[in-house]
């Protein structure tokens, strides 16, 4: 949703964050999408996204 701006503001970094969580749980589509989104991010953006992955999910931005 965040990566495409589907129902919320577009935010590739948040999209990466949520895809990373889903991929870690073994969701095959999330694994594929994560690779695609990751390739679009600059190294600094990817580093920010990775730091957000380590925060508790309760602090994550939720879609509107």
Tens of pLDDT, residue by residue over 5-63, are 666 666 788 889 989 989 999 999 999 999 999 999 999 999 999 998 887 666 666 65
Kindly state whether residue 47 falls inside one of the protein's structural domains.
yes
| CA contacts within 13 A on the Cβ side of 48 | 10
Q: Which residues of 31-52 are buried (b: 16+ CB within 10 A; e: fewer)?
A: eebbeebbeebeeeebeebeeb
Q: Are 59 and 30 in contact (CB under 8 A)?
A: no
pTM score of the predicted model: 0.74
Q: In the chain, how many domains are there?
A: 1
Any domain includes 31: yes
Question: What's the pLDDT at 48?
Answer: 93
| Residue 55 lies inside a defined structural domain of this protein | yes
Domain that holds residue 37: 12-59
Please check whether residue 36 lies inside any domain of the structure: yes
DSSP code, position 7: S
């Amino acid at each position: 949703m965040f990566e495409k701006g589907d129902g919320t503001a577009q935010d590739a970094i948040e999209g990466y964050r949520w895809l990373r969580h889903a991929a870690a749980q073994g969701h095959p589509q999330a694994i594929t999408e994560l690779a695609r989104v990751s390739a679009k991010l600059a190294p600094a953006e990817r580093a920010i996204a990775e730091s957000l992955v380590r925060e508790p999910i309760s602090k994550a931005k939720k879609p509107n």
